């Protein structure tokens, strides 16, 4: 049996990934602040085991509790493969840093950087003796390597996520039963985050018009397209350990 742990599944990329994983033989663990009832109903109708947790991963104890609960449902004797997909994240605050709310800044960094670090730590700890394919995928962003005025927290948290990916990849490369870890910048995806960007006051985000134009020109990627690439490549052994890839680079690994 294949086990998948996916965060941020209430909508967008996370939801699309889980829908692609609704296949007999898979068991899925989902977490988001609010339950995606349609996703649960669909899984039930297809007789796919799905465990849904409502939790705010920006709260460290909630992230720890979620992962601990996941492994109470996993029998090591029944695992063929296992993956953690760290997708949950937020964009706010969108503003020059001197106008950003410190409370939102703190929540942002806890959700975008601390939560995937905590979940990664616990995933590796729980699976370190499993001699099976084990993968962690961190959903990053092109903003990790390109500064946008008004996105000081977002650019920084995604850059941190990429570096964490590289560092953990280096650590795992010396292990007897390593976990493969990688990060993906999925491109500009048509999600609620993009809607939020287009509705932001230009005084807070100077590059707003760029994203409005991309939407008007139909150049945004659908969550379903991103999810399909992820599901088709997740366990490809050719992906480099600690790799930080964009969606076009990941496509090359589709078998």
Task: Convert the pLDDT of each residue in 52-62 to its tens digit.
Answer: 999 999 999 99
52 assigned to active site? no
* Whole-number pLDDT of residue 255: 72
Percent of the residues in the chain that have a pLDDT greater than 70, as a whole number? 100
Per-residue pLDDT of 42-52, as tens digits, reads: 999 999 999 99
User: What mean pLDDT, rounded, does the chain reach?
Assistant: 96
> Could you report the per-residue pLDDT of 150-173, keeping only the tens digit for each?
999 999 999 999 999 999 999 999
CB neighbour list of residue 199: distance below 8 Å, 6 or more residues apart: none
Q: What is the 3-state secondary structure (H, E, C) of the chain?
A: CEEEEEECCCCHHHHHHHHHCCCCCEEEEEEECCCCHHHHHHHHHCCCCEEEEECCCCCHHHHHHHHHHHHHCCCHHHCCEEEEEECCCCCCCCCCHHHCCHHHHHHHHHHHHHHHHHHHHHHHHHHCCCCCCEEEEEECCHHHCCCCCCCHHHHHHHHHHHHHHHHHHHHHCCCCCCCEEEEEECCCECCHHHHHHHCCCCCCCCCHHHHHHHHHCCCCECHHHHHHHHHHHCCCCCCCCCEEEEHHHHHCCCC
Q: Name the catalytic one among 4, 52, 148, 154.
A: 154
- Closest by Cα among 201, 192, 114 to 153: 114
Query: What's the pLDDT score for residue 16?
Result: 98
Mean pLDDT of 66-71: 96
Count how many residues are written for the chain: 255
Q: Looking at residue 178, what is its pLDDT?
A: 98
Q: For the domain bounded by 2-187+223-251, which CATH number is listed? A: 3.40.50.720
pLDDT single digits (tens) 168-217: 999 999 999 999 999 999 999 999 999 999 999 999 999 999 999 999 99
Q: How far, in Å, CA of 116 to CA of 55, rounded? A: 14
């Amino acid at each position: 049996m294949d086990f998948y742990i996916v965060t941020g599944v209430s909508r967008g990329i996370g939801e699309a990934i889980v829908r692609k994983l609704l296949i007999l033989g898979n068991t899925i663990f989902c977490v988001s602040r609010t339950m995606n009832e349609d996703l649960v109903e669909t899984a039930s109708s297809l007789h796919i085991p799905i465990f849904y947790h409502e939790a705010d991963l920006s709260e460290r104890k909630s992230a720890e509790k979620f992962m601990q609960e996941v492994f109470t449902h996993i029998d090591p004797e029944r695992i063929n493969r296992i993956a953690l997909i760290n997708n949950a994240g937020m964009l706010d605050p969108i503003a020059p840093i001197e106008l950003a709310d410190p409370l939102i800044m703190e929540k942002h960094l806890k959700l975008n950087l601390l939560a995937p670090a905590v979940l990664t730590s616990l995933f590796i700890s729980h699976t370190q003796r499993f001699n099976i394919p084990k993968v962690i995928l961190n959903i990053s962003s092109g903003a990790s390597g390109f500064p946008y005025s008004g996105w000081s927290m977002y650019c920084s948290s995604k850059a941190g996520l990429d570096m964490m990916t590289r560092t953990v990849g280096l650590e795992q490369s010396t292990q007897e039963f390593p976990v493969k870890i990688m990060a993906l910048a999925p491109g500009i995806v048509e999600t609620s985050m993009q809607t939020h960007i287009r509705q932001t006051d230009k005084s807070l985000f100077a590059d707003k018009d760029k994203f409005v134009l991309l939407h008007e020109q139909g150049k945004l990627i659908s969550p379903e397209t991103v999810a399909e690439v992820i599901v088709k490549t997740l366990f490809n052994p050719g992906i480099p350990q600690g790799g930080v890839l964009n969606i076009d680079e990941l496509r090359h690994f589709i078998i």
